[in-house]
């Protein structure tokens, strides 16, 4: 078997174990799931499980990390689509606009089961706060890169409020079987949060200055 075939088989195996764990957590809760439950659901042996993971916590954390990396990669790609002639402040304004928010809600929709597990707090404390940490750290990182940004609140406080508000909305949306479309949720979030956020960061004023 070629190395490429081996890698593909390993990826399939890991994905099968991940999918088994996520479905079992949603059915019976993280604490009730055993390694045997996971391998039975994935139709794999315990030996195969331990070739790749120490325990179910590592399996869950790897799944969350993969989702987080995918989110960051797509988020960065979306920002790169902005006009290179825009100022950093204008790009941040876009960062908070409907395209970025659409990406966040759509990413949650595409990975709904894993998001539910993360956001409802299943598993260890590390797992339950991983996505919140990712969103918060990405927000702070991008704000810190802006020149001469004069905010009305400390950046870490802004990022905490932003991530907390967004995650609460996504959690409610998924747990209630997505009663509104992605587009509607983006509009609601914009109306309640984004316009006030741009004022808090003094971005609307700064953008006006760069245009003059």
DSSP code per residue over 32-56: G--HHHHHHHHT--HHHHHHH-SSH
- C-alpha 166/C-alpha 171 separation (Å) is 9
Give residue 133's pLDDT band: very low, low, confident or very high (50, 70, 90).
confident
What's this model's pTM, rounded to 2 decimal places?
0.74
Please give the domain boundaries of the chain with CATH numbers for all domains. 1-53 (1.10.10.60), 57-211 (1.10.357)
pLDDT in tens, 59-116: 998 988 888 888 888 777 766 665 444 444 444 444 445 677 888 899 999 999 998 8
Neighbours of 119 (CB within 10 A): 21
- 109 in Cβ contact with 67 (< 8 Å): no
pLDDT in tens, 7-19: 888 999 999 999 9
């Amino acid at each position: 078997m070629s190395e490429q075939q081996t890698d593909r088989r390993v990826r399939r195996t890991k994905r099968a174990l991940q999918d088994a764990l996520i479905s079992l957590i949603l059915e019976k809760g993280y604490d009730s799931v055993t390694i045997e439950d996971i391998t039975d659901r994935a139709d794999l042996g315990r030996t195969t499980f331990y070739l790749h993971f120490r325990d179910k916590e590592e399996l869950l954390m790897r799944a969350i990390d993969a989702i987080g990396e995918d989110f960051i990669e797509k988020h960065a790609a979306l920002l790169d689509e902005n006009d290179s002639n825009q100022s950093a402040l204008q790009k941040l304004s876009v960062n908070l606009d409907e395209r970025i928010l659409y990406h966040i809600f759509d990413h949650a929709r595409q990975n709904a089961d894993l998001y539910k597990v993360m956001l409802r707090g299943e598993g260890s404390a590390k797992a339950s706060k991983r996505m919140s940490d990712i969103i918060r750290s990405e927000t702070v990182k991008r704000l810190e890169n802006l020149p001469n940004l004069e905010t009305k609140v400390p950046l870490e406080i802004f990022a905490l409020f932003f991530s907390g508000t967004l995650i609460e909305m996504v959690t409610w949306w998924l747990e209630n079987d997505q009663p509104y479309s992605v587009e509607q949720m983006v509009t609601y979030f914009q109306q309640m949060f984004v316009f006030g956020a741009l004022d808090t960061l003094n971005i609307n004023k700064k953008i006006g200055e760069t245009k003059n």
